[in-house]
Structure 1
Amino acid sequence: MSEELNPAADTFEPVQEALLWQDEIWTARVIKNEEDEGWAVAMTRHGESEPALVAPWTMGRDKKNPKPLSAPAFHTWVKTANEVLRRHEQQLHAQLHKNLKLSVNGASYLVTLDIVPDEDDAHAWLAAADEDGAQLARVRVAPNFKLNNTSATSWIENEFQKPR
């Protein structure tokens, strides 16, 4: 079943069935667990083609059919799926944005590397700021540029010339 919109009010009608629950953001669907004999819950954000989370679901009393979804279970799954997405976003951010603080010749610097994962023109921006946060330099580098103490120190000592 898909989400229901009331055309007159243009509002979302939640679905609360035994194996399918929907709110304005999430759909929880009980599915056959492909990895074993049991069941799973697939949590999918509206507009996404793939579930954000698929996790085992409890069997019913007959040990054959899945236990029906409930309001507390749905809210727990929404919270868990949101947490999974938040962790993915944090991991992606950590991969694309790196920084380090260092001191070179008595001056403190914050050096950052921001990777732009563009399919046609992937690149990164290497930047340096002083201890007050004023930007001192910014150059475009390859997306696989390795930011570490050695590369940052060398860049600063070479007066922020674009690294090779």
Structure 2
Amino acid sequence: MLKWLDVLKFANNGNPAPDKRVEKTQEEWRAILTPEQFNITRLKGTERAFSSELCSYFEPGKYACICCGTELFDAETKYESGTGWPSFTQPVKENAVAYHTDSAFGMQRIEALCNTCDAHLGHVFQDGPPPSGLRYCMNAVSLRKVEEDERK
């Protein structure tokens, strides 16, 4: 189980290697993503709080990167944070998410990206529930629910 010190270590000293890499040009990403998905995942945008039904959706299953399809989170770690964005306590694997320091807008935060394709997902905070204490505050637009028949 990842803890805040692990997240800081990855952000400051390098992330674990992903299982695979997916690399495309901005033009290639633009061709397969909606304008909103492109803005959030490739240009590090943020969706409005409480703008997605995904915040209150708690069905079992996995959540994958909208860009490359890599599974990132399990619904078992999803919880209601009250922030207006889907929140999770852990990624599905230690190397699913990459971490980078983000000092934009005068704040010091840890950005969470898909470790496979570098899509911006959101940020990680240390105010989540026990036992990890982590809150992966994700843009719903950067995720898609993986249907059960896709996993077979």
TM-score by length of 1: 0.22
Higher strand share: 1
TM-score by length of 2: 0.23
Higher helix share: 2
Q: Bigger relative contact order, structure 1 or 2, given CA contacts below 8 A and separation 6+?
A: 2
Which is higher, the Rg of structure 1 or of structure 2? 1
